[in-house]
Copies of this chain bind each other. A is one copy, B any other.
Amino acid sequence: MDREKVIQEMKERVFYANEQLPKEGLIKLTWGNVSEINRELGVIVIKPSGVDYAKMKIDDMVVTDLQGNLLEKDSLRPSSDLPTHVVLYREFPTVGAIVHTHSVHSVQWAQAKRDIPAYGTTHADTFYGNVPCTRDLTEEEINQRYEEATGDVIVETFKERQLDPLACPAVLVSGHGPFTWGENVTKAVQNSIVLDEVAKMATVTEQLSPKIARIDQYLLDKHYYRKHGANAYYGQN
């Protein structure tokens, strides 16, 4: 009973978050997907695969367990990126929701196979340091377990660079595009919006000043910590 109500609310949030992606100009067509996890209930809710946004309904959202197995009969097929989400939820225990888009400015950096440098305070307010770009997947990874391997290479990137997923709630998958996440769906979508905006800013910053360096560490610290952590004083939305 209670469980059903919680899952129903998850479906609503995931549905409306998916709807927000084209409205915010982050995706075209059916690109992109949003999911949310409830770790206590052992449940993930994710967008179905290939349903036209105009026809998608709340009850089309797909419910799985934490390994990605379908939990409801007559379920639609989940987004084919579900295995990536499953890996990220398993390895990033503080993450409550994940968003994947092909937003144009973020993809430009992913295709360029470059981190987005922290060139200003707009970036620092949300991302504590460069937004990392993963290495390329190998042929074997792509052929044998593509979507899981996409999750794995994100996790590998964060481990190697010793990044906290909530301090840098975004990644670029090389040659592919961005994943963002957050404590909840609202934050995860906002982080996609911010990511595309700072990606757009960074491109022209480099064009205007080709030798520009990323901002000073103390300015990065200031902006990040006035919004996050124990001493935050900046408005929390």
Contacts and interface: CB of A to CB of B under 8 A. Distances in A.
Interface of A: 28-31, 48-52, 77, 79-80, 102, 104-105, 107-114, 119-122, 136-137, 139, 142-143, 146, 175-177, 190, 193-194, 197, 200-209, 212, 215-216, 218-219, 222, 226, 233-237
Contacts of A194: 28-29
A29 B193 contact: yes
Question: Which residue, of A51, A80, A200, A205, has the highest number of chain B Cβ atoms within 10 A?
Answer: A205
Contacts of A234: 49-50, 80
A29 B234 CA distance: 14
B142 A219 contact: yes
12 contacts: A49-B234, A50-B237, A51-B237, A52-B237, A77-B235, A80-B233, A107-B120, A112-B209, A119-B175, A121-B176, A121-B177, A143-B222
Leading 8 A-B pairs by shortest Cβ distance: A50-B235, A49-B235, A112-B208, A112-B209, A108-B204, A111-B205, A111-B120, A111-B119
A177 B201 CA distance: 11
A83 to B, nearest CB: 11
A215 B216 CA distance: 34
A208 B108 contact: yes
